[in-house]
Structure 1
Amino acid sequence: MPLRNGYSINSTHADGSEDDEPLIESDAVPPRCCSTRLNLAILMFFGFSVVYGLRVNLSVAMVAMVNDTDPQPAPNSSIYKTCPLPPGTDNTSDAFRQPEGIPQYPWDSETQGWLLGAFFFGYLCTQIPGGYLSGHYGGSIFLGLGVLCTAGLTLLTPLAAQLGSGWLFALRALEGFGEGVTFPAMMAMWARWAPPLERSRLMTLSGSGANFGAFLALPLTGFICQTLGWPAVFYICGGAGCLWALFWFLFVSDDPRTHRRISEEERDYIINSLGPQGTGHGWSVPILSMLLSVPLWAIIVTQMCSNWSYYTLLTSLPTYMNKIMHFDLKSNGFLSALPYLGAWLFSTLSGVVADLLIERKVFSVTAVRKIFTLTGLLPGSACLVAVGYAGCSHILTVIFLTLTSTIGGVSASGVFINQIDIAPRYAGFLLGITNTFGTIPGVVAPIVTGYFTEDHTLAGWRKVFWVAAGINVGGALFYTIFGSGKIQPWALTEEERAEAEKKRSASIST
């Protein structure tokens, strides 16, 4: 569908260049402030805040749920090293008293690792089906139901824990099963809602809710555990998810064409800027072409590598703050949350900068995605290694951990939204594929961390940080070599192929 200047921003070109796409005239762009697409991003932001609150609450609550009976290594062991209490504290972190009547459980570090990873067993199963169905039907119903089901199951956590660790494992896996559709559904919705020159800022704003949710949930969980008892954490988080779902189903539509409150000017702008790519992909998808697509594998490998360090910190950082740094539970939650505050701010800012660089043609889409990926992953890896050598310095540990995630937030405008660049129509399905592979570290990393750190020593945690940093660097380099921001031939519609062929014929004839 043509714009006022006669082009769709997704027009294909005979020479295959991605830098000669015509840009939308400034007077054709309706205001972003208070627009329907911005309101959608904000509502998604709060949705993913809830989603990550539901995901990470167990990481902190686990410290309060467990009656710590792990055997400690002998003090004269060559690997034994413990840190002193933080300055100004006179409590120990060996046990956290709960209000009277609140149960605690004798789970060892291996059991805790399996429970922390249980969520991702279910999360793996629904990514691809959720992305496929969202791309066909639209993502709003799947995103809303994903959050609602996860929130409802979260309310049952205290009961499951009382029944036994096996029941809790099964419940967390079911929560992951429900939540697995949320990110693919988000990507499928932005394929129909996000104009190409606003993709980075809209998608990073909505997706940054994950970091904001972790930032809020970690300290609040610690506070609630010590004041109300750990079961209250799951009742409050579950209730918040159910409340959000009510607003979502009342105010959201799959497509700007069917939204009841969108202005005609904004609707036409979105539809025209997306062109044929702003529609559903139908039942048929080019599976073989996707499997042979090098740019898609670049996304898969890089997300797997970067998610290793992300999930290591997400699930195990509270344990490190407890067992090694000896922060009390309230401090533990707050300090574990600081990295996600920085990541939230930097990821949101990176989206604005990335769009400006693309809009002003400073760099191509490919160059922007690679620059932001490298900038986020390489320095972040160095800071992660530095954590292992900060020793018992509480200040340096907090600084390096915060820098690791803060700098890593820049990559939100890199590889993590690249699916919509290479195949807008199939973006939800592709995110389901990449997120399925990217979730594997969420299953494996907590188990590996539990293996390395069963003696709760600095030496064991140093191995954890080295492994995570090395995998991170490998992913960044792989993406730099093989990544692309150019729409792939197999993602073009018949209309776009015909237009490209017409331009190619005209070019040859002249």
Structure 2
Amino acid sequence: MYRPLVQHNRLGISVYEGPLIGVRHVQVFLYFLLLTYTYCMRTVLSVAIVAMNNNSTTTNTDIETFHWTNQSIVLSAFFYGYILLQVPVAQLGKKYGPKWMLVVCTTVDSTSFLLIPTMASYFGSIGVIVCRVFQGLAQGGIAPLVHTLLGCWAPAAERSVLGTVTYAGAICGNILSLPITGVICSSWAGWPAAFYLFGALGLKWVILWMIFGSNSPSEYKTISEEEKSYIQTSLGQRENKKYKTPWKKILTSPPFWAVTLAFAGANWGSSVLLTQTPTYLSKVLNYDIRTNSLFSAAPYVAMGLSSVVFSSVCDWIINRNIVGRGTARKIFNSIGMLLPALSLSILGFVSKEHAGLSVALLIFNGGITAGGLCGFQVNHVDLSPNHSGILMGITNSSTSVFSIIPQLLVQFMVTGDMTDQSEWRIVFLISAGVYFVTDIFFIMFASGEVQEWNECEEIREDAENPEKQKEYTKE
């Protein structure tokens, strides 16, 4: 069933609101599953590394354990690979289509993850670092490819919700992996079983994607003409149209740099929350591994619930013209960055005797950062549906260093006694400052409008030609 004709796209062409449930939702569900599994594989080590270096966490004394002094280096190794291939993969995905490149990336990611127990046994922390670098290389291509797909499948009127549902997979991955890993590590099966479980789930997704995934509405054989027309007219797409990447215009665009800086701040904050929370709960607040993993997952449960509310409200106020798209992005980005800055600042001064309050602040921090999913995260597609994958590749790769720096900061700032809260306080305050500065830049320069460099000159001329406009719609 279709809803009434209610809007016009930027070319002045009438656009029907699409079916309530359609093929685009199947595609977004697959993206959600992909990010769920990849983030499971990204985060398991944050909890498992505690068990890998402490044989008292399991009832099975035959499980091999280690005594690594470079744990923060091991945790950050993922990001060394993550930086390298994002832009090249995004460019190839735009040129040849993302579907089969996602197959390759996810297969490499899952296989590298499955090999971690074996590599740890034979080569120690160096073997795990190698696996994590390969995981980073593979996962680095996933986000740009997914953004390319969103640029083809997510209509403007549904962009906040569909984009947030997609990236809620990252939240779900953290929610699932942290407590499940804690339970597995404390069980007779021991820490290796966690790597085998989630690696197998990643390979299972590859099979689902090969069967049901598609590059675009025009390539999906069984999509209805109505839904295909709705998506393409909403995005101003033409069948099989290829666009050259306007590198110079992208790199000199203030709204693009606003997204980039916001991404940097979010990466820094999420890196502290994701990889250091289990260590903080264990060393400073003295929680055992099972309780630790549950509390480590709690911020992501809050984030998942908040993302549903934030995305729905964001699209609602945009579609009813309560505020403009750009203003909405700035409002929700500020919710997702300024409030976490405040909570991290307070967290650094909460004493060990009030561990419950510290946990509550960590949960609040995780929940409120969901605002960023409706801010900078989907803003790539706002600026340029045609080049959203390239934008994501540039921002995600160039700002990945801000995921590495906090790990190194902990390695060198929290020295000797990891139970010293005063040293952790410095880490939290620096993170709060990064959140604040990057959000202010986003407020000043961000935009919610499609940028002129999204389209080549030929398309802009077509927009003025009534005969050419017929190619965009089914009459």
CA distance in 1, matches of 2:65, 2:316: 52
- TM-score, normalised to structure 1's length? 0.86
How many angstroms does 1:22 deviate by?
7.8
Letter in 2 for 1:131: A
Aligned length: 458
Deviation at 1:497, TM superposition (A): 2.2
Corresponding residue for residue 420 of structure 1 = 381
Q: Identity over aligned residues, as a percent?
A: 32
Q: 2:28 aligns with which of 30, 37, 41?
A: 41
Q: CA deviation at 1:495?
A: 3.9
Q: Distance in 2 between matches of 1:344 and 1:136?
A: 33
Gaps of 5+ in 2: 467-475
Partner Cα distance (2:334, 2:292) in 1: 30
CA distance in 2: counterparts of 1:398 and 1:419, whole angstroms? 33
Distance 1:281 1:465, change over 3 A: farther
* Change in 2 beyond 3 A, CA 1:278/1:475: farther
* Cα deviation code 1:12-45 (max 9, x no counterpart): xxxxxxxxx7874xxx323223x11112111211
- What are the superposed Cα offsets for residues 202-229 of structure 1, whole Å, 9 maximum, x if unpaired? 0100111101110110000010001011
Identify if the C-alpha distance between structure 1 residues 428 and 324 changes in structure 2 by more than 3 Å, giving closer, same or farther: same
Paired residues for 1:62-461 under 5 Å: 62-67=49-54, 95-97=56-58, 99-108=60-69, 111-162=70-121, 163-227=123-187, 228-276=189-237, 281-282=242-243, 284-392=244-352, 393-454=354-415, 455-456=417-418, 457-461=420-424
Output the TM-score relative to the length of structure 2.
0.92
Partners of 1:278 and 1:433 in 2: how far apart?
26
Question: How far does the alpha carbon of each residue in 1:128-167 deviate from its partner, in whole angstroms, 9 at most, with x for none?
Answer: 1121112222222223332222111111001111112112
Equivalent-residue separation in structure 2 for 1:395 and 1:307 (angstroms): 26
Letter of the aligned partner of 2:331 in structure 1? I
What does residue 78 of structure 1 align with? none
Name the counterpart of 1:474.
437
Letter in 2 for 1:186: V
**Structure 1: which 5+ runs fail to align?**
12-20, 69-94, 504-510
Q: More helix by proportion, 1 or 2?
A: 2
Of residues 159-168 and 187-196 in structure 1, the stretch that sits farther from structure 2 once superposed is 159-168
Q: Comparing 319-328 with 436-445, which one deviates more in the overlay?
A: 436-445
Which residue of structure 1 aligns with residue 446 of structure 2? 483
- Following the alignment from structure 1 to structure 2, what is the Cα–Cα distance between the partners of residues 298 and 304? 10
- Does residue 9 of the first structure (1) align with residue 2 of the second (2)? no
Q: What SS class does the counterpart of residue 326 from structure 1 fall into?
A: coil
Cα distance in 2, alignment partners of residues 376 and 408 from structure 1? 4
1:493 aligns with 2:460: no
- Do the aligned partners of residues 278 and 363 (structure 1) sit closer, same or farther apart at CA in structure 2, a change above 3 Å counting? farther
The answer on whether the counterparts of 1:277 and 1:425 sit within 8 Å (CA) in structure 2 is no
Q: Secondary structure at the match of 1:260?
A: coil
Corresponding residue SS for 1:340: helix
Q: Which amino acid aligns with 1:482?
A: F
Contact 1:281 1:426 in 2 (8 A): no
Shift of 1:481: 0.5
SS at match of 1:257: helix
CA distance in 1, matches of 2:305, 2:457: 40
Whether the 8 Å contact between 2:116 and 2:127 is mirrored in structure 1 is: no
Match of 2:18 in 1: 30
Partner Cα distance (2:303, 2:239) in 1: 30
Give 1:438 deviation, angstroms: 2.3
> What is the alpha-carbon distance in structure 2 between the residues aligned to residue 22 and residue 333 of structure 1?
52
Aligned 8 A contact 2:53 2:67 in 1: yes
Secondary structure in 2 matching 1:37:
helix
Distance 1:279 1:294, change over 3 A: farther
| Aligned AA (2:409) | V
- Conserved? CA contact 2:13–2:233, under 8 Å: no
Q: In structure 2, how many angstroms separate the alpha carbons of the residues matched to 1:369 and 1:139?
A: 27
Deviation readout 1:29-72 (Å, 9 max, x if unpaired): 23223x1111211121111110100000000000001149xxxx
Q: Give the aligned residue type for 1:32.
A: L
Query: Given the alignment, which residue of 47, 53, 63 partners 1:60?
Result: 47
Secondary structure class of the residue paired with 1:181:
helix
Amino acid at match of 2:423: G
2:20 match: secondary structure: coil
Encode CA deviations 1:268-306: one digit per residue, 9 max, x unaligned. 211222223786644x31111111111111111111112
RMSD after superposition: 2.0
How far apart are residue 389 of structure 1 and its match? 1.6
* Displacement of 1:469: 0.7
Moved more, 386-395 or 461-470: 386-395
What CA distance in whole angstroms lies between the structure 1 residues aligned with 2:241 and 2:79? 28
CA contact (8 A) 1:140 1:252 kept: yes
